[in-house]
Amino acid sequence: MLTEKEHQLLELLKRNPYSSQQELAEQLQLSRPSIANLISGLTKAGIIKGRAYVLAESRPVIVFGGMNIDRKMVVKQDLVFQTSNPVTSYQTAGGVARNIAENLGRLGHDVKLMSAAGYDLEYEFLFEKTHEWVDLNHCLRSDQERTGAYTAILDHEGEMQLALADMEIYRLLDAEWVMNQEKVFRSAGLVIIDLNIEQLAVAAILQQCSRFSVPVAIVPVSAPKMKNLPEGKVQADWIFCNKGEAELVTGISLTTDEDRIAAHQALRDKGFLHTVITEGERGFSYLEQGKLHWMEALKPSEVKDVTGAGDSFVAATLHTWIETQDIHLALQAGRMNATKTLESSYTVRPELSATQLQNELEELQ
């Protein structure tokens, strides 16, 4: 006997056998992986025959980097150091790579996360929060290390005052492990790297992307992690830096537009095709055809939590770039997703979908 959702799915397929899985997911208010499972079951039962029901799916996005427990402590009053502060605490699924991957999954992409985790309760929590949107089957597991953990102390306005990161497990994501992932690189449509991964492993990822002609984007994570960016020339399509990270890697203090142009050009000279430098609530700059462009940040109705906003910016930018190849439009989408994430208490906002993001962009215009 068919379930109600299976009946609804069959009705949609009768109307349009060429619907994509993402279109079906949005119409039935399910995730794309859930639609894939329903279709698989109906195919095995002989109810669906052939593959006319769905357009060819895009090649997967592969995301390398961190998958952590995010523990957040919000101070109820003004933060006072060297003493006890009353807080409200909670934990969420986090990690730059994981956050970007979940955003992209919610936006309808087939996403594989290449990370590391222990055999512990932290991983079980992360799996429960992530697996609906992201394929975790390629993650390295270790019984010798604990799953990564990040603890942030936020003031009562939601701004981070201090953060602590236990990322020792990512040492296991070394160059040898990367070179054993050839099958993953062969099928990839885009590779994203967060710099929680050591330098030699990043170099190996870039080598494999070059070998298989896969576009690649790099997300530094933090200024100290810039050391994991390979020395010399790199071959990559995107880099997303904040002001401090850009100043560190280029050696240029960003004060004037001339400084910004010089910093972007230095990143171009290092081998990046598209360079984005964010400057917090002011906005961000990018270089296109030798001309500096500045995009003002949108003002959120309120800031509930800054965690995850940068990751949502990267994800929506790359999502729209994949779809349109329009850099200006892609960055507008990134800006919108970041703003909506700031207004949410979630690291990845649960209402996110490709349709939702498109509607938000149309409302802005």
Q: Start-end ranges of CATH 1.10.10 in the chain?
A: 4-44
Classified as helix, coil or strand, 122 is helix
What's CA 173's distance to the chain center, in Å?
18
**Pairing between β-strand 148-154 and β-strand 160-166 as defined by DSSP bridges:** antiparallel
**DSSP assignments along 226-255, one per residue:** GGGSPSS---EEEEEEEHHHHHHHH-----
| DSSP category for residue 50 | S
CATH number assigned to the domain covering 61-231+298-364:
3.40.1190.20
Report DSSP state, residue 276: E
What is the b/e burial string over 330-362, where b = at least 16 CB atoms within 10 angstroms of the residue's CB? Answer: bbbbbbbbbbbbbebeebbbeebbbebbeebbe
Tell me if residue 161 falls in helix, strand or coil.
strand
Q: Using alpha carbons only, what angle is made at residue 271 by residues 270 and 277, rounded to the nearest 5 degrees? A: 75
Question: Facing residues of 304 across strands?
Answer: none
Q: Where in the chain is the domain with CATH 3.40.1190.20?
A: 61-231+298-364
The reported pLDDT for the residue numbered 55 is 37
Instruction: Tell me the CB-side half-sphere exposure of residue 60, using CA atoms within 13 A.
Output: 21
In this structure, the strands spanning 148-154 and 68-75 are parallel
Q: How many CA atoms lie within 13 A of 122 on its CB side?
A: 22
Residue 127 CB-half CA count within 13 A: 15
- The pLDDT tens digits along the chain (365 residues) read 678 888 888 888 877 766 777 778 888 988 877 887 788 777 777 677 655 554 334 689 999 999 999 898 999 999 999 999 999 998 889 999 999 999 999 999 999 999 999 999 999 999 999 999 999 999 999 999 999 998 989 898 878 899 888 889 999 999 999 999 999 999 999 999 999 999 999 999 999 999 999 999 999 989 999 999 999 999 999 999 999 999 999 999 999 999 999 999 999 999 999 999 999 889 999 998 889 999 999 998 888 877 789 999 999 999 999 988 899 999 999 999 999 999 987 889 999 999 999 999 998 87
Beta-carbon contacts of 44 under 8 Å, excluding residues fewer than 6 positions away, are none
Spatial contact of 156 and 76, defined as CB atoms under 8 Å apart: yes
pLDDT at residue 54 in the model: 42
Query: In this structure, how many other beta carbons lie within 10 angstroms of the beta carbon of residue 52?
Result: 10
Q: 293-326 as b/e, with b when 16 or more CB fall inside 10 Å? A: eebebeebeeebbbbbbbbbbbbbbbbbbbbeee
- Can you tell me the distance from the alpha carbon of 221 to that of 131, in angstroms, rounded to the nearest whole number? 23
Domain spanning 4-44, CATH architecture: Orthogonal Bundle (1.10)
C-beta separation of 76 from 102 below 8 A: no
289, with CB counted inside 10 A (0-12, 13-18, 19+), is exposed
Distance CA 241, CA 21 (A): 34
Sort residue 251 into left (φ over 0), alpha (ψ -120 to 50) or beta: left
Determine the Cα angle at 186 with ends 180 and 187, to 5°.
120
Single-letter amino acid, residue 167 = M
